[in-house]
Structure 1
Amino acid sequence: MCGRYSLSKSKIQLEERFQAEMLGEFNPRYNIAPTQLVPVITSDSPKGFSFFYWGITPDFGKNKPVSQKFINAKAETVHEKISFKNSFLKRRCLVPADGFFEWKRLGKKTKIPYRFTLANEEAFAFAGIWEEYENEFGESNHTFLILTTESNSLVSEVHDRMPVILKKEDEKKWLDTYRSQEDLIKLLTPYQVDEMLSYTVSPLVNSVSNDSPSIIRKTSAPIDQFGNYTLFG
């Protein structure tokens, strides 16, 4: 599962990295959560950033608000699920990020937040799909979700699933509307473990109201959700 991620790069850095234009301003985000409006790059508009809500409203959920339930879909079955297969074939997107968070459980009550990034700490893209729906006021809204896969050996120490991080050279393939389903599925694999790193972060990340640089700083020792240091990280 991926339920929180960061995008702490500037507008200029993102435009340069993804070779896409971003209209309007963008403030770095350190604790992105479901239902929030964030930048994506779609197969319909690969040369520009669009701002979509995280939490997809499937085809059968017309006129419903942004969903907190459908924030991820399994890469192994996304092409088979009635709720997602049309989006998989027709509406794919890149979800820019520079890190994601998972929580390691220790016993029944204790959990410790970890941040996962690329080893070079550069921006990257999750594989995503998107949908369009009409709200109760007749306005058109756009939503997306992030595809997940089995964790590599680094992430599996904390969680059994991880978001699909696309290789840089595969990002255009993911947005290519002429790619076959078989070719697309081949892109949805765990990221190379030797090109990633992880570290513990502050429990401030637990609250979606916290969104500051302190969220992504490495802690000197693992800290649980109660603010207690622990030897077992």
Structure 2
Amino acid sequence: MCGRYSLNKSKIALEERFQAEILTDFNPRYNIAPTQLLPVLTSESPKGFSFFYWGITPDFAKNKTVAQKLINARADTVHQKVSFKSSFEKRRCLIPADGFYEWKRLGKKTITPYRFTMHDESLFAFAGIWEEYENEKGETNHTFLILTTDANRVVQDVHDRMPVIISRENEKKWLDKYSTIEELQKMLIPYSSEEMISYTVSPLVNQVANDNPSVMRKTSPMDQFGNYTLFG
């Protein structure tokens, strides 16, 4: 499962890396969570960033639990499930990020947050699918899900799943409406362990309201209560 990520880059950096335009203000994000409005590149508009809700909209979240199925989809079955098949075939997206978080369980009451990123903290893109629907007020909303796959060697010590990271050379092909199912499936694999690092961060990241650089800083391993642990 992927339930938090970061996008600690400027508007200019995003536009240069993905060769796409952002027609609104954007501030770096350090602790992104479901229901938030976030930048994506879609198969319909690959040269301009759109802003979609991750998983569900805030209004919907007030009445429903944010379930795993609403924020992530398994890459190995996304092309088969009725609920995702159409989106996988017609509505794919790239979700820019520069890191993501997972929590390592060390006991019944002890979990420690980790951040995963590239060696150089560079931008990359998760594989996603998106959907359009009309809410009760008749307004059109857009949401996206992040596809997940088996964890690579860097992630597997903390969690058995990780978000699918599309290699830079495959980003255009992922958004290409003419890509075949077979071509797409070949991209849905664990990202190279050699290019990634992980480190423990402060339990401040546990609270969505803490959206500042402090949640990304390397710290000694601490549990969710801020107590130092003996495990790295």
TM superposition score normalised by structure 1: 0.95
Deviation at 1:65, TM superposition (A): 2.8
1:96 aligns with 2:96: yes
Deviations 1:18-53 (A, max 9, x none): 000000100100000000000000000000000000
Task: Give 1:225's aligned residue.
Answer: 224
Whole-Å Cα distance in 2 between the matches of residues 4 and 152 of structure 1?
A: 18
2:12 alignment counterpart: 12
Aligned residue identity for 2:159:
H
Cα deviation for residue 155 of structure 1 reads: 0.1
Q: In structure 1, what is the equivalent of residue 119 of structure 2?
A: 119
Once the two structures are TM-superposed, the CA of residue 138 in structure 1 deviates from its matched residue by: 0.3
Distance 1:24 1:116 in 2: 28
Consecutive aligned runs of 4 or more in structure 1 exceeding 4 Å deviation: none
Residues in 2 aligned to 1:19 and 1:224: alpha-carbon distance in whole angstroms: 40
Deviations 1:55-112 (A, max 9, x none): 059xxxxxx9367221000000000011100000000000000000000000111000
d(CA) in 2 for partners of 1:30 and 1:41?
Answer: 20
Aligned to 2:107: 107
1:186: which partner in 2?
A: 186
Paired letter, 1:108: K
Point out where structure 1 has 5 or more consecutive residues left out of the alignment: 58-63
Q: Work out the CA distance in 1 between the residues paired with 2:176 and 2:60.
A: 29
TM-score (norm 2): 0.95
C-alpha contact (below 8 Å) 2:22/2:48 kept by paired residues: yes
| Partner Cα separation in structure 2 for residue 79 and residue 206 of structure 1 | 32
Percent identity, aligned pairs only? 73
Structure 2 unaligned runs (5+)? none
For 1:23, give the aligned amino acid.
Answer: L
Question: Is the 2:150–2:160 Cα contact (8 Å) retained in structure 1?
Answer: yes
- Aligned runs of 1:1-233 on 2, under 5 Å? 1-55=1-55, 65=60, 68-69=66-67, 70-219=70-219, 221-233=220-232
Q: Is the 8 A contact 2:5 2:31 kept in 1?
A: yes
Question: Which residue identity is paired with 2:207?
Answer: S
Offset, 1:120: 1.6
One-letter amino acid matched to 1:12: I
For 1:51 and 1:33, the matched residues in 2 are separated by: 14
Supply the distance in 2 between the matched residues of 1:225 and 1:214 (Cα, whole angstroms).
15
Provide the aligned C-alpha RMSD in A. Answer: 1.2
1:1-34 deviations in Å (ceiling 9; x for gaps): 1000000000000000000000010010000000
How far apart, CA to CA, are the structure 2 residues paired with 1:82 and 1:208? 32
Matched residues, number? 226
CA distance in 2, matches of 1:143, 1:194: 32
The code of the aligned residue for 1:203 comes to P
In the alignment, the residues of structure 2 paired with residue 208 and residue 133 of structure 1 have an alpha-carbon distance, to the nearest angstrom, of 26
Q: Is the 8 A contact 2:34 2:56 kept in 1?
A: no
- In the alignment, the residues of structure 2 paired with residue 79 and residue 108 of structure 1 have an alpha-carbon distance, to the nearest angstrom, of 36
Q: Distance in 2 between matches of 1:91 and 1:65?
A: 22
Partner amino acid for 2:165?
I
